Structure formats: structure tokens, C-alpha cells
Structure 1
Amino acid sequence: MADQASDGGQEKTEEPTQKRLEKSKEDGEVPSSKELFVFSTLLTGFFLYIGIIPFIFSIIFEWSSLFQFSGETSLQDYVFNNLKAGYALMYWKAVLFALPLFVIVILTQMTMSGVINWSSSALNLKASRINPFSGLKRMFSMKALVEMLKAIGKVIFLLGAAVFVMFTQMDKLLTAPATHLVGGISRLGDVFLLLIIAFLLILAVMAMLDVSWQFYQHNKKLKMTLQEVKDESKQTDGSPEVKAKIRRMQMTAGSRAKQRREAMENVPSATAIITNPTHFAVALKYEVGTAGAPIILAMGRGYQAQEIISIGKDAGVTVFQNELLARALFFAGQIGEEIPTPLFTAVAAILGFIYRLNKGDAVDEPDVELPADMLFDENGKSIS
């Protein structure tokens, strides 16, 4: 189990994560089967051969025409012209075979890995590739042993199939020279087809076994320890402590937002709204003759402050402008609680002024003073 242990001694028992799989594709590490490539290309060649059988004689005659000379021109001209035509004939016939084989190779790899993956990192020079000790380790590894057994098995089975086909078709092979040209070629073609079919059957079985083995080895190589899975989860989603802190902050922010929305419903019942005049707004409630200090019903800044002022005006609530007091109430107070003790005097003076103003008395606006520790700028910093 040493090959499945990490540096920390943990066994790689966890299936690879999606991130590990994507990283392996970026590095060019995807499952690939040589036996599947051999089978798919041979199968494609077999179908191409079946496709050209109706044209085989025309191809033979076209080839034989290159060796015919009429004597109308010099022999040297015939030789060069026929060489040129011969090269062109071989080139285009090779292209007709090469293009389908190239497409099949691409599709075969797509069958294995699900996508064509062009990875430049696979071409990078790595010290392990030129390290002789790493090379010796690869030579005597399980992978090398399996490749050697596959090669030996392939030779034995293919050679055995060839001997079997030749033995069963011996009569056709021995009588082929005794018949005419077309008949002899036809008999040899039949034997050749049987030989290819036998090879394909053997290679198909070997390809299926090799594909299963390659997927098993690839998955085994990418397996992770439990600690690696946890570390990757932390890198992707953050540590549990950070996520818990974020959730707490989200819950707190959500709770505050809900509290402020509910507070907006209480604005029409406020006694007064203190503003500065638009950036901050604090709605206060106080019933004359009751014990205790005024209560903060709602407060906000910016758009929310304008909303509080608008709701208050629609409900007939008196709006009083005092920049420093509005900031002090906003930064030092809490919704649903009494105003801070240092602000009692200032708020009492303003509420008294509003009370008498609402009764129709002619009163002057009070000049309130705040304690030094209750003076804030618009960002909540002390300006004392």
C-alpha cells in the first residue's frame, strides 16, 4: 500500500474531486489506451479496404499503365513522366486513407477522455523525465510489467490467429496460383479478409480489457487522502471558521435589515424626527407624563433617512433639523431602546420646544449643546 500513501502516511482512499480531475486534464494527464488506438485504426482500415474492393482492378490497371511504353518519345521522358504520375497516385491514395484514420484517432481519444485536451504543460521539461533513477523506477514498475505482458499476449494471440486462419484456408492458398489472375486475387482477398477479421476480434477483446485497466490506473493515480480533500475544500470554499463567521455576519445584517423594515412601520406614531436635514434621520417617541426617556423608533441614513422623513411628514410628525444631534442619535443609539443618557438634556429641550410649538405657543428654537464625546462626523468618527 506504499504507492497509495501520501507524504503524511494517509492512504489515498477518497475519489478525486472535480477540481483534481480538471487539473489532471490541464496537465495532459488523461486516460489513453494504445490497444484501443490499434483496434480503431485497424477497423477503419478494414472498412476502407472493403470500400475499395470494387475499384481494386481499376487501381491495378492504373498502376500497370505506368509500366507501358509506346516508343513515341524517348525512354527517359517516359520514365520521368511515369515516376511523377506514380508519386501523385501514391500520394492521393495515401491521403484518402490517412484522413479517415486521423479522424478516428481524434474520436478514439474523445471516447477515452470525453474531450480533446490540448495541454502545453505536458510538453514542459521535467527533471523526472531525464532522471536515470526515475527511468529505472518506471522500467521496473507495475505499469511496465503490464505493458510487457500485453505485448507478449498480443504477439501470441495474433500469431496464433494467423496460423489458425492459414491452416483452415490452406486449400485456397495452394490452389490460387493454378487459377487465372482474377480468381487468384479473389481467393487471396478472401483469406486476407478472414485474417483481418480474426485480428479485429482479438484486438477488440484486448482493447476492452486495456481501457478498463487504464481507467482504473488513472483513477487510482488521482485518488486523494482525506486530508487533501479537506484542504481543497478549504481553498475552494474557505475554512469552516471563516464560513461560520460570514454566516453570522449575514444573519446579523439580515436581522438588522428586518428590524429596520419593521421600524419603518412605527414612524407614523413618532413624536418627532431629528434630521441633519437629509443624510440622517432618527424618529423618537415620548409620551408626556410617562417614566423613562424617549424611545428610538427608527433611524437611517441616505435613502432610508429620506424615506423616514417622507413617511413622518405624511403622518404629520414634526421634523426638527439639528445636524450634530441627528448624528449623535444615529451613531450612539439603538432602535427600540432609549436614547443615550448623555443626550437626555438636548432631546428634552427639543421635545419641549416641539410640544409647545404644536400647542400654538410662540417659542424660540432652543440652542442645544452636546457633550464632547457625542460629537461625530458623517462617518461616525469623533470630532471632539
Structure 2
Amino acid sequence: MAEENQDGQEKTEEPSQRKIDKHKEDGKVLSSKEMFVFTGIAGALLLLYALPYGAKSLLFEWGDLFVFSGNDKLDDLPSTKSLQALFFILKISLIVGLPMLIIVLATQFAVGGINFAPKAAAFKSNRINPLSGFKRMFSLKSLVELGKALLKVGLLFASAIGVIYYLLPRILRITDGTLKSGLEITQIAFPMLIGALLVSLLAIAALDYFYQRYEHVKSLRMTKQEVKDEYKQTEGSPEVRAKIRRLQMESAAKSAKQQEALENMGEATAIITNPTHFAIALKYQVGQLGAPKIIAMGKGLIAKRIMDIGTEKNITSFRSPLLARALFFTGDIGEEISEKLYNAVAIALAYVYKLDKGEDIEAPEINVPEDLRFNENGNILKEV
């Protein structure tokens, strides 16, 4: 049966990568306490089994703490022996603690991976809330933990009873035998008992691992509404996505139009420049009907490209910052210029025509209407 959330919706959908990452940030990774119990006890037993191989040197070091020679200075003796004792304790701690730490880390790495989540260590008020604690005590999870504890006690008890029952005939004969025979029975009974308990712990750990994995996967599942909400958060609402697509299409169309305009630069009559920030290529033949048309226009790098092409094709440029900005902010590629700019453009084109004929004349003064005088950002310039 699928799990339900607080709204009563079933969590039937597979988790998204975003939800998995959020769980990791919150410190919610797959883990099994019973697996730690099994590997911890098994590791401790292995360590205990290996300890005798180095016990001799450790005993000598321990005994050396209580040995005093006649050459030792009495004043320095307490500090010297205290330092030796400290190093001895640190050595024992490393011998015992380091392998256990490696076992714990290896267990978590194998079960659910190692994850460092500072957010999980942050203070949360619900952890000390009595009401929340009371609810946790009587939750389904608490009942499951109680069931696991009872199962563990029962299984370990049954394993111990089984081993004792199997060895009971030999145990009963201990009183009739010698000390050697009693030790031989103990040598057999103790490893068998430890082995049976370890097998029981392994079975419990395996059951707990699969249960915790099931619960972890279930907690990650999402409702259909959660999937929709997350999609909106990451991809945006349908309206926003439609607007983004429209803007992308407009940008692509504008780029294509700009490229086509650059290819048609050969038809231009003159280029009005800022001189470097804006460039507008105009087309007009004397005697034609209609106003001059904008062949190409741009700012920044596009403006530089227009001027470079103009130089290549021997198109005359006319410098007029106010006129260039007015044409840029009031016109568009392929359209006629604004009616308010007819007079200013006519004066500029007349000057270009005369230059093209080889006349040596001074550049005219261009008057642009006040309501069409823009700065580089497209804002109307204010009179000072």
C-alpha cells in the first residue's frame, strides 16, 4: 500500500534528483543500527582475537611504568612516568579505537554511503518538544523498533539455548572428567556460542537493513501534486515557460534579422555613427518615393561590425551621436525612419552625397528634435 502525506494523497511517484539531494542535505541517508551492532561486535571479537599477538610488548610497556632504576632522578620521576603513561594510553586507544572507527565508517559506506550534512546537526526545537517526543513514543516506528528489540532478544536467547542444548551431554559430564577435558569442552562451547550469536546478529542486521531500505525509499516517494509543484519551481509555471519560449524565439528572429541585414549592407547609402557605440546604415536613392530605410543597425560589437563592413564596401560614414541614437531608438531594420527625423537625415544624406562626389565641404550641424534626443541607455536627455 502506498504511503499517504498529510493531505491524504498517495506517494506513488519515484523521487526526483532534487528531492534525493534535499534528503542528503538534511542528513537523511540510509542507515541501519543493527548492522552497526553486528559489525561492531564482530570487529571487536576479531580485535580481541588478534590482541594476543601484540600483547607481550604491551605488557612489557605497562610493566615498565612501575619499574624504577637507581639512575632515575626522584624529582623528575613523576612527570616522566606520567608522560609514559599518557603515551601508553594513547597507543592503546589508537590500537583499539582506530580499527573500530574504520569499521563504523566502512559499514555506513556500504549501507548508505557517507554523507556530511551540517544542517542535520543544527538545533531543532521539535527535538525537545515534549508533545513531539510523546508522539514518537507511540508512533508506528516505535512499535517497529520494539518488535525488532523483542525479536533480537528472542533470537539471541534461542541461539544460546540451542548451543547449550546441543552441548548439554558434554556439559553434564564435566564434573566426572578432568580439568583438561573440562577446558576442551569450554574451547568447543565458547566459539560455538559466539558463532551462533554472531549468525543471529547477522540475520537481525540483514532484516533491519532491508526494512530500513524499504522505509527510506518510501520516505523519498512523492505525490503527483509534489511532482507538479517541484516541476513548476524548477522549470517555472506554463505561463512563464511560454513567455521564456516567446522571448527566445524573438531573440532568435532578431539575430537572424540582424545577420541578414549585415549581408545586405552593400545596398546602404550612408552610415550614421555615434561614432563607436551606435551605427545605422541607411538606404535612399534620390528621386525615389518614400523615406530613407534602415538597412542595418546595432550597438557595441554589432555597430563595429557595421562600420567594418562599411569600410570594406566604401560606404561613407557620418558622425552624429544624437542622430545615431535617435535613429536607433525610434526605428527598426527594414523600416522607414521616423517622420520627425526627415529633415535631420536629409541634411546628413545631402552632405554624404557631396562627399561622394568629391566635394570638400564642412560637416553640417544636425538638429534633432528635443523629444528624440536620447542617451546611450535610451532615456530622453534633459535640458541643463
Q: TM-score, normalised by structure 1?
A: 0.78
> What is the DSSP-based 3-state SS (H/G/I as helix, E as strand, rest coil) of the residue aligned with 1:169?
helix
CA distance in 1, matches of 2:155, 2:293: 94
Report if aligned partners of 1:13, 1:226 keep a CA contact under 8 Å in 2.
yes
Deviation track 1:89-126 (CA, whole Å, cap 9, x = no partner) reads 99977864444233212322232331143546446252
Letter in 2 for 1:48: L
Q: How far off its partner does 1:210 sit?
A: 0.9
> What is the DSSP-based 3-state SS (H/G/I as helix, E as strand, rest coil) of the residue aligned with 1:300?
strand
Letter in 1 for 2:110: T
Q: How far off its partner does 1:18 sit?
A: 3.2
Q: How does 1:235-246 map to 2 (within 5 A)?
A: 235-246=233-244
* Closer/same/farther in 2, CA of residues 258 and 186 from structure 1, 3 Å limit: farther
* Closer/same/farther in 2, CA of residues 122 and 357 from structure 1, 3 Å limit: closer
Q: How far off its partner does 1:213 sit?
A: 0.8
Deviation track 1:234-288 (CA, whole Å, cap 9, x = no partner) reads 4444444334323332332333233223322222331111223333221111233
CA distance in 2, matches of 1:92, 1:309: 79
Q: Verify: 1:278 aligned to 2:256, yes or no.
A: no
Q: How far off its partner does 1:17 sit?
A: 3.2
* Closer/same/farther in 2, CA of residues 353 and 206 from structure 1, 3 Å limit: same
* Closer/same/farther in 2, CA of residues 174 and 52 from structure 1, 3 Å limit: farther
CA distance in 2, matches of 1:121, 1:344: 70
* Closer/same/farther in 2, CA of residues 167 and 94 from structure 1, 3 Å limit: farther
Counterpart residue number, 1:145: 143
* Closer/same/farther in 2, CA of residues 89 and 191 from structure 1, 3 Å limit: farther
CA distance in 2, matches of 1:383, 1:90: 82
Pairwise CA RMSD: 3.7
Higher mean alpha-carbon deviation, 145-154 vs 374-383, is at 374-383
Letter in 2 for 1:252: E
> What is the DSSP-based 3-state SS (H/G/I as helix, E as strand, rest coil) of the residue aligned with 2:11?
coil
> What is the DSSP-based 3-state SS (H/G/I as helix, E as strand, rest coil) of the residue aligned with 1:287?
coil
* Closer/same/farther in 2, CA of residues 260 and 184 from structure 1, 3 Å limit: same
Letter in 1 for 2:303: A
Q: How far off its partner does 1:370 sit?
A: 3.6
Q: How does 1:162-201 map to 2 (within 5 A)?
A: 162-175=160-173, 178-181=177-180, 184-201=182-199
Report if aligned partners of 1:295, 1:338 keep a CA contact under 8 Å in 2.
yes
Size of the aligned set, in residue pairs, is 359
Report if aligned partners of 2:294, 2:335 keep a CA contact under 8 Å in 1.
yes
Counterpart residue number, 2:333: 335
Higher mean alpha-carbon deviation, 111-120 vs 149-158, is at 111-120
* Closer/same/farther in 2, CA of residues 195 and 248 from structure 1, 3 Å limit: same
Letter in 2 for 1:160: A
In structure 2, list runs of 5 or more residues that go unmatched. Answer: 64-81
Counterpart residue number, 1:44: 43
Report if aligned partners of 1:349, 1:366 keep a CA contact under 8 Å in 2.
yes
Q: How far off its partner does 1:21 sit?
A: 3.1
Counterpart residue number, 2:79: none
Q: TM-score, normalised by structure 2?
A: 0.78
Report if aligned partners of 1:296, 1:339 keep a CA contact under 8 Å in 2.
yes
CA distance in 2, matches of 1:353, 1:51: 102
> What is the DSSP-based 3-state SS (H/G/I as helix, E as strand, rest coil) of the residue aligned with 1:156?
helix
Q: Verify: 1:252 aligned to 2:250, yes or no.
A: yes
CA distance in 2, matches of 1:303, 1:90: 73
In structure 1, list runs of 5 or more residues that go unmatched. Answer: 66-83
* Closer/same/farther in 2, CA of residues 175 and 27 from structure 1, 3 Å limit: same
Counterpart residue number, 2:125: 126
Q: How far off its partner does 1:334 sit?
A: 0.7
> What is the DSSP-based 3-state SS (H/G/I as helix, E as strand, rest coil) of the residue aligned with 2:10?
coil
* Closer/same/farther in 2, CA of residues 33 and 249 from structure 1, 3 Å limit: same
CA distance in 2, matches of 1:168, 1:158: 15
Report if aligned partners of 1:25, 1:119 keep a CA contact under 8 Å in 2.
no
Q: How does 1:75-154 map to 2 (within 5 A)?
A: 96-117=95-116, 119=118, 121-122=120-121, 124-127=123-126, 129-131=128-130, 133-154=131-152
- Which of 204, 207, 210 is the matching residue for 1:209? 207
Higher mean alpha-carbon deviation, 143-152 vs 12-21, is at 12-21
Deviation track 1:120-172 (CA, whole Å, cap 9, x = no partner) reads 644625245432x4334323322222222222222222222212212222344
Q: How far off its partner does 1:28 sit?
A: 3.4
Report if aligned partners of 2:29, 2:115 keep a CA contact under 8 Å in 1.
no
Report if aligned partners of 2:25, 2:120 keep a CA contact under 8 Å in 1.
yes
Report if aligned partners of 1:44, 1:101 keep a CA contact under 8 Å in 2.
yes
* Closer/same/farther in 2, CA of residues 170 and 264 from structure 1, 3 Å limit: same
CA distance in 1, matches of 2:13, 2:213: 16
Deviation track 1:59-82 (CA, whole Å, cap 9, x = no partner) reads 9x99xx9xxxxxxxxxxxxxxxxx
Counterpart residue number, 1:68: none
